Amino acid sequence: MGLLTFKGGIHPDDGKELSKNKPIKDILPKGDMVFPLSQHIGAPAVPLVGKGDYVFAGQKIAEAGGFVSANIHSSVSGTVKAVEPRITVSGVKVNSIVIENDHEYKEADSAYSVDMEKLSKEEIRNRIKEAGIVGMGGAGFPTHVKLSPKEDDKIDFVIINCAECEPYLTSDYRRMMEEPEKIIGGLEIILRLFPNAKGVLGIEDNKPDCIKILSELVKGNGKIEVKSLKTKYPQGAERQLIYATTGRSINSSMLPADAGCVVNNADTVVAVYRAVAEGKPLNERIVTVTGNAIKDPMNFRVKTGMNYSELIEAAGGFKEKPAKLISGGPMMGVALFNLDIPITKTSSALLCLTEDEVAESKPSPCINCGRCVSVCPGRVLPTRLASCAERHDSEAFLKLHGMECCECGCCSYVCPAKIQLAQSIKSMRRMILDSRKKK
């Protein structure tokens, strides 16, 4: 039998060798801490503290501002300096709580008992909600909402995305190597919510060591299975992962739950474990700092709210001037123009690329080679969609199934004419989604 996969996709240079063998290193912040009130999909959180208040590490400092929203917790002890707009990864200012770190890391009292075996489904969901957990793979969708489908018993698969298919990123790899039991522990907690579900860990076959470790851990566990996936980008995209691991298909108007699936990434599942078993909120994460412009690529365990620029210092600084800085991976990450921004729950990596790695060139006219169509995992026509986007023709864009694009960037990557197809399509999709939200 061939390896599990999906149709389309690409095989970019993965660049993972720079940091994959660097064990997770804990680092502490130096400067002020900044906690944007909007670092998740949904309504911004509402501040619970004001200027002059003393806060403890782990204290809830902002409360979910709606059903689809998430609590925010401080990662340090110290004094609130301000609640004011600060620049974030997206380049826009977001209202944020600024805390002067006293470097004592005095912990807030935890009201949790550790006897998790007795917890009801409702209590498990409440702990996840209280801990402010959101999808840490980049999307930032509140996890307690994702884990509350209409009917629990219609969920057949809880899929854990351990693919880490984005080039350069190694934070999930290190998690799997160093804390595999927490991934399994988190998955077992989630499985308690869905009585008919099986757990599936989807791992690309370029990580045989992770496949081995996790397979050994679940040996004899009839409810959890490790599935080896073909190494191909974007193997970890939600729709592609569901298809590869279960053979089920969903489209843009369906939720994974409509196909009997719930999908979470490896880091999010560890956050679930920490919240439910240890009573810890989501206020730290693993961040890969890598790229050929950085002296000592690393995987750091960092506190949320810490400044991105401190990551560069911790990784030995630049060995040459970076041509491009990206938050996240090279395919779906966000280009940064300023490093004076805070690390949030969804910051997976800081990529510092050299001129050679960026290799930018000017777009030229389309030569109708068809490569963009052949790699598109959304099975749409990137050229025609990009042309609709340029004309702002949303009607034609929708007729051509533009919303089935998963914004993976494969089309732009293979285009010999260097046309930024994905960028145009993405802008059009965002515009349509925004106008739907307003309606």
Closest CB to ligand SF4 among residues 79, 427:
427
Ligand-binding annotation for 162, yes or no, is no
In terms of DSSP H, where are the helices of 102-179?
A: 121-130, 143-146, 171-178
Half-sphere exposure for 37 (CA within 13 Å, toward CB): 23
- Chain positions 418 to 437 lying near ligand SF4, rule: CB under 6 A, are 419, 421-422, 425
Q: Which helix (H) or strand (E) holds 211?
A: helix 208-217
Alpha helical stretches, state H, 279-379: 308-314, 355-358, 371-375
- The span of 27-35, 182-190, 342-350, 378-386 binding ligand SF4 (CB under 6 A) equals 378-386
Amino acid occupying residue 285:
R
Cα angle 240, 421, 237; round to 5: 15
Name the token pair of 41: 């999909």
User: Residues 353-372: x/- map of binding to ligand SF4 (CB under 6 A)?
Assistant: -------------xxxxxxx
Are the CB atoms for 375 and 414 separated by under 8 Å?
A: yes
Residue 94 phi, psi (nearest 5):
-130, 135
Alpha-carbon distance of 107 to 95, in angstroms, equals 25
Choice between 343 and 406, CB closer to ligand SF4: 406
- Which residue of 147, 169, 189, 376 would you call a contact of ligand SF4, by CB under 6 A? 376
**Residue 195 contacts ligand SF4 per CB under 6 A:** no
Task: Note whether 407 binds ligand SF4 by CB under 6 A.
Answer: yes
Both tokens of residue 72?
Answer: 């925010």
Q: Which of 33, 243, 377, 400: binder of ligand SF4 (CB under 6 A)? A: 377
Dihedral angle, C-alpha 237, 240, 244, 247, nearest 10 °: 140
Pairing of strands 349-353, 334-336: unpaired
CB nearer to ligand SF4: give 272 or 400.
400
Residue 372 known to bind ligand? yes
Any contact of residue 382 with ligand SF4 (CB under 6 A)?
yes
Given 108, 339, 417, 432, the residue binding ligand SF4 (CB under 6 A): 417
Position among 383, 394, 423, 427 found at the interface with ligand SF4 (CB under 6 A)? 383
Does the footprint of ligand SF4 cover residue 406 (CB under 6 A)? yes
Q: Is 376 annotated among the ligand-binding residues?
A: yes
Q: How many residues make contact with ligand SF4 (CB under 6 A)?
A: 29
In whole angstroms, give the CA distance from residue 410 to residue 413.
5
Which residues, at least 6 apart from 140, have a Cβ–Cβ distance to it below 8 Å? 39, 40, 41, 134, 344, 345, 346
Specify the residue, 183 or 244, whose C-beta has the smaller distance to ligand SF4.
244
Report whether 411 belongs to an annotated binding site. yes
Tell me if 33 contacts ligand SF4 by CB under 6 A: no
Annotated binding site: 366, 369, 372, 376, 405, 408, 411, 415
Chain residues that interact with ligand SF4, rule: CB under 6 A: 366-372, 375-378, 380, 382-383, 405-411, 414-417, 419, 421-422, 425
Annotated binding site for [4Fe-4S] cluster: 366, 369, 372, 376, 405, 408, 411, 415
